[in-house]
Amino acid sequence: MSKRPATEALDELAANSPLPKKSRVDDYTKSVKELSLDEKTADEQGDAPAPAEYQNGNSNSPNQEDQDESDDDEEEKAPIRQSAPTEGYDDLYLDTIDRNVLDFDFEKLCSISLSNINVYACLVCGKYFQGRGPKSHAYFHALDEDHHVFINMSTQKVYVLPEGYEVQSKSLDDIKYVSDPRYTKAEVLTFDRIPRTSFALSGKEYRPGFVGMNNIKENDYLNVIVQALSHVSPLRNYFLLTDFGKSPANELVKRTSILFRKIWNPRAFKSHVSPHELLQEISLRSNKRFTLSAQSDPVDFLSWYLNNLHLGLGGSKTRPQSSPIQHIFQGKLKLESQEIQTKNDTLADRLRFQDSSVINVSSSRFLLLTLDLPAAPLFQDEQERNIIPQVPLTTILAKYNGLTSQELNSQRRRYRLQHPLPPFLMFHIKRFSKNKFVSERNPTIVTFDAKNLDMSPYVEPSADHSSGEPIWYDLVANVVHEAVRMKEEVADSGEERKTWKVQLRDKATDEWVVTQDLFVENIRSELLYLAESYLQIWERRKTPLAAKGK
């Protein structure tokens, strides 16, 4: 069978043949260099680079059909950026804002790049994105999801994307306030004097300063410490009124200030706060010693937290009273020690100071006073009254009266507080002890009166303070321990899990409130001591009352 003849001559077809192919390696190398340059420029501007399929000049762009488009067509497709809204459209897109989904308590990280630089929050869905330029994640979110209103988490300025102009509407002031609450000195002075009640967006009533705190997993140990410290008036006022954004303070101080301001926010959208942002910084700074997923001891965390806040506020490791932390909590302690000469004496003889031996006297400074509980009885008495033993607070405070001796490392020691006492005293009631085999808990209940604690018997007389003159302290916060029995799927394991809650005093109403994670309720002052007190914060009374109980 013969071949079918060609309809056209090969010479004529060769005249219209395409150009010979060439290697694309050079073009690829050039494109990579240009892309790297674009990314570098975008990083310098704080904007993330756009995906490759949306960049101008890429042959794989889904919208590019013809490579021979004119310059006029390219100018028409370029994004339109505005410095101001179109006349008559000042409130465009503002009706799409959803205040119910806004939660500014989480760490300010872009949900795509995980960068904390130049972060914007979408006021429609509440997510965080980086930048607002034509190649940023926020810009593409506006195009993809049709969400157009964003707030800068650093400057609190609101922008509309993709147009790019700033919104000047007063209707957004409540969002800016919730994102970064600010207070005047006159407002702060009324916190402890005038009772206040506020309402969340859901209509739930709450009291500023007495709000629930989210327990993400096992961070209730941190919640109770932050709640307690936020009611120490001078510390609270310092963090509420100081603008750390313009100071060289570290990130731990800044995030503590933000959380304190949100706890006392009278115009919050929700009746609770989340410590997530502070927790992330604490986990990073402590090398994951304190995290949100593992339970820790509140007193261990308090010691670490106060020391790092002290250094973050410019405090010195050697110079006393060099930061607000030390001005508020630091006191002075006198220590007398003597070597034990004999080993065969009774306990009473071993703890008796001997005049013939040398008594070493030294002084040290403290932020926290440790109180030792008496050993719990192993058996019940005949009337079964010692199931849960009790001890008065003044009894365990006798450790610091300068007369009671203790044995430690072949030494007998006795302690005495020195004048002046700090404005706030913190007591750590030591309940837990560890040995090589097991960790034990002392369930002894400490009884106390929330007012009129006289510390003068434990202070050494001086020229500034005569002997017998009372020094009154009132309770501000009481962190208590609660043991919860852990249950497995099949049988009760018998193990106990530690949970923590804090009792707080409302100075404006003289009422007590107990908070445990998101639960907040009132409690009678007569019932405070029934729980296992673990950490107490007492405030020195400025003007002594004429009669006890007032």
- On the question of pLDDT at 327 being above 90, the answer is yes
CATH number at residue 126: 3.30.40.10
Q: Are 333 and 366 in contact (CB under 8 A)?
A: yes
Q: Are 272 and 213 in contact (CB under 8 A)?
A: yes
Q: Are residues 405 and 350 in the same domain?
A: yes
Q: Are residues 503 and 390 in the same domain?
A: yes
Please provide residue 108's backbone torsions phi and psi, each rounded to the nearest 5 degrees. -80, 85
- Pick the closest to residue 325 from 334, 314, 336, 333 (CA basis): 314
Q: Are residues 528 and 507 in the same domain?
A: yes
pLDDT per residue as tens digits for the range 235-251? 999 999 998 876 666 89
Q: Which of 77-81, 118-122, 313-317 has the lowest mean pLDDT?
A: 77-81
- Ranked by mean pLDDT, which of 3-17, 66-80, 315-329 comes out on top? 315-329
Q: Are residues 267 and 284 in the same domain?
A: yes
- On the question of pLDDT at 175 being above 60, the answer is yes
Query: What value does the mean pLDDT of the chain take?
Result: 81
pLDDT per residue as tens digits for the range 208-220? 999 999 998 899 9
pLDDT of 398: 92
* CA–CA distance, 458 with 481 (Å, rounded to integer): 27
pLDDT of 378: 67
Cα torsion angle, 32, 37, 40, 42, sign: negative
pLDDT per residue as tens digits for the range 259-290? 999 999 999 999 999 999 999 999 999 999 99
* CA–CA distance, 389 with 237 (Å, rounded to integer): 39
Q: Are residues 139 and 265 in the same domain?
A: no
Q: What is the pTM of this model?
A: 0.79
- Count structural domains, the chain: 3
pLDDT bucket at 97, cuts 50 / 70 / 90:
very high
pLDDT of 88: 58
**Domain span including residue 507:** 331-366+368-540
Quote the tokens at residue 258. 């933000």
Q: Tally helices (H) and strands (E) across the chain.
A: 14, 25
* CA–CA distance, 435 with 450 (Å, rounded to integer): 34
Q: Are residues 237 and 142 in the same domain?
A: no
User: Does residue 106 fall inside a structural domain?
Assistant: yes
User: Does residue 5 fall inside a structural domain?
Assistant: no
Please provide residue 101's backbone torsions phi and psi, each rounded to the nearest 5 degrees. -100, 0
pLDDT per residue as tens digits for the range 444-492? 999 999 999 999 999 988 777 777 789 999 999 999 998 887 655 444 4
- Of 144, 177, 210, the residue at which a domain comes to its end is 177
pLDDT of 380: 59
Q: Are residues 523 and 420 in the same domain?
A: yes
